[in-house]
């Protein structure tokens, strides 16, 4: 069963949040024994079946791992394992609004139940059950994002219909002779080089996913930076009793409007973020979370969220201490409505896949990030600072 997200600690989750909204995924692969030839299906058709697999029921055990090599920053400790380590997940999936995911640890487990009315999070260690009303669409990564079906569909949704697709050799995954396809990503704005998916050729359910980045030369890297795969799988509807939360006597029960830092920061003024960055218009904000800026719908999507100024100062210091994983960004200080030049500073944390920057102009600050190249991030930082020109 899983961890409730009750008291969201702003400073502790800050960097997590920044990285979170952008990267909604990170997984592991399972060694597969030789597969029999999979059922013949055209790669483009298999891709379409995968994209349409959201209503297929299943239950199983998966392992997910990432090689983002995130820097050892204090506020980063809770997300480092998720994005740079291995996650062991057991899940039951009846429908998009009826899911249970257990994240397994040596000493116990944490469970998250998704229901038609919200989420329930069970923290085994704390013996605490938390009902969560809702989280924003742009949010921190969660264990369920790492499962092969969710990861494959989310990443595919960021590719373009005319991106080429080619067949991969079949692979034996969780007892299934899975057919594979690869989608190379040509968009020069993103660090994603290719998405490789293996799925049940009959149902289209994704069974294994690998994400590869681009090399400095622009070619696709040989080794994946993110992997996820089932080790056990049952493609039948799970027992409804397993999807029902049952609190034992003496267990603590609490409620929270959101379990996500973006859910806290995003409830501000919709005008707290620019109308566009790097030439991309802002996607209309989600109701109730107007201060979260989302720019674009592809893998090169950028996310901008406002930060308290003192928190931004702390994060900029952490970036400065991150060594080769951090860099400073030159920002031209804008002139405000009174003719005064505001102080401005910015810095970025970088991994093979993710770019994340913190920008401070006067007493205002933002986080901006995405699976984007340095030049895209730098232009976004400049646009955020320029947006403050003339501000009181």
**Would you kindly state where each structural domain of the chain is located, as residue ranges?**
10-256, 266-386
Whether the CB-CB separation of 277 and 384 falls below 8 Å is answered with: yes
Assigned fold of 10-256: outer membrane lipoprotein receptor (LolB), chain A (2.50.20)
Residues in the chain: 392
Instruction: Among 3.30.70, 3.40.1000, 3.40.50, 3.30.420, name the CATH number for the domain at 266-386.
Output: 3.40.1000
Q: What is the DSSP secondary structure assignment for residue 75, as one 8-state letter?
A: G
Q: Which pLDDT score is estimated for 27? A: 34
Q: Which pLDDT score is estimated for 278? A: 96
What is the Cα 338 distance to its own chain's centre? 40
Q: Which pLDDT score is estimated for 18? A: 42
**Planar angle of CA 362, 367, 370, nearest 5 degrees:** 145
In this structure, the strands spanning 302-307 and 98-105 are unpaired
Local confidence pLDDT in tens for the 392 residues of the chain:
444 444 334 444 344 344 444 443 333 333 334 445 556 899 999 999 999 999 999 999 999 998 766 665 554 455 556 667 789 999 999 999 999 999 998 877 889 999 998 899 988 877 888 988 888 888 877 888 999 999 999 999 999 888 899 999 999 999 999 999 999 998 999 999 999 999 999 999 999 999 999 988 889 999 999 999 999 999 999 999 999 887 777 788 888 888 766 777 788 888 999 999 999 999 999 998 999 999 999 999 999 999 988 888 888 988 888 887 889 999 988 776 655 667 889 999 888 898 999 999 988 999 999 999 999 999 999 999 988 865 65
Which residue matches tokens 């003192």? 310
In angstroms, the Cα distances linking 107 to 103, 110, 111, 121, 387 are 11, 10, 14, 18, 49
Looking at the chain, which runs of residues are DSSP E strands? Answer: 58-66, 86-95, 98-105, 108-115, 118-123, 128-132, 166-173, 176-184, 192-199, 206-213, 226-234, 252-256, 276-277, 280-281, 293-295, 302-307, 326-329, 344-350, 355-361, 364-370
Name the 3-class secondary structure at 378.
helix
- Rounded Cα distance, 25 and 154, in Å: 8
Whether the CB-CB separation of 221 and 212 falls below 8 Å is answered with: yes
- Rounded Cα distance, 180 and 164, in Å: 14
Q: Which pLDDT score is estimated for 33? A: 43
Say if residue 264 is exposed, middle or buried (CB neighbours under 10 Å; 0-12, 13-18, 19+): middle
Whether the CB-CB separation of 268 and 289 falls below 8 Å is answered with: no
Whether the CB-CB separation of 89 and 102 falls below 8 Å is answered with: yes
């Amino acid at each position: 069963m899983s961890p409730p997200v009750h008291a969201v600690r702003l400073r502790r989750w800050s960097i997590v949040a920044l990285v979170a909204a952008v990267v909604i995924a990170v997984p592991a692969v399972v060694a597969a024994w030789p597969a029999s030839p999979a059922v013949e299906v055209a790669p483009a058709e298999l891709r379409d079946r995968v994209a349409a697999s959201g209503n297929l029921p299943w239950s199983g055990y998966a392992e997910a791992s990432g090689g983002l090599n995130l820097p050892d920053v204090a506020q980063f400790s809770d997300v480092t394992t998720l994005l740079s380590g291995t996650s062991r997940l057991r899940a039951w999936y009846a429908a998009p609004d009826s899911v249970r995911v257990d994240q397994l640890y040596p000493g116990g487990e944490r469970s998250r139940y998704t229901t038609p009315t919200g989420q329930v999070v069970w923290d085994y260690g704390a013996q605490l059950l938390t009902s969560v009303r809702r989280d924003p669409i742009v949010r921190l990564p969660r264990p369920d994002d790492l499962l092969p079906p969710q990861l494959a569909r989310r990443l595919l949704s960021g590719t373009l219909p005319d991106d080429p697709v080619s067949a991969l050799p079949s692979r034996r995954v969780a007892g299934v002779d899975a057919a594979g396809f690869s989608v190379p990503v040509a968009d020069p704005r993103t660090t994603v080089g290719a998405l490789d998916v293996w799925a049940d050729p009959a149902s289209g359910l994704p069974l294994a996913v690998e994400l590869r980045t681009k090399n400095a030369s622009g070619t696709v890297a040989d080794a994946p930076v993110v992997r996820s795969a089932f080790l056990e799988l049952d493609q039948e509807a799970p027992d409804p009793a397993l999807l029902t939360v049952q609190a034992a006597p003496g267990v603590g029960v609490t409620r929270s409007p959101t379990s996500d830092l973006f859910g806290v920061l995003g409830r501000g003024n919709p005008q707290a973020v620019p109308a566009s960055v790097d030439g991309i218009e802002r996607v209309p904000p989600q109701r109730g979370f107007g201060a979260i800026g989302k720019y674009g719908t592809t893998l090169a999507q950028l996310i901008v969220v406002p930060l308290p100024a003192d928190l931004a100062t702390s994060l900029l210091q952490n970036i400065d201490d991150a060594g080769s994983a951090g860099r400073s960004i030159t920002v031209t200080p804008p002139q405000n409505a009174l003719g005064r030049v505001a102080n401005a500073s910015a810095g970025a944390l970088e991994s093979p896949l993710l770019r994340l920057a913190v920008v401070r102009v006067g007493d205002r600050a933002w986080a901006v990030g995405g699976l984007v190249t340095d030049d895209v991030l730098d232009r976004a930082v400049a646009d955020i600072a320029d947006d403050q020109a003339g501000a009181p």
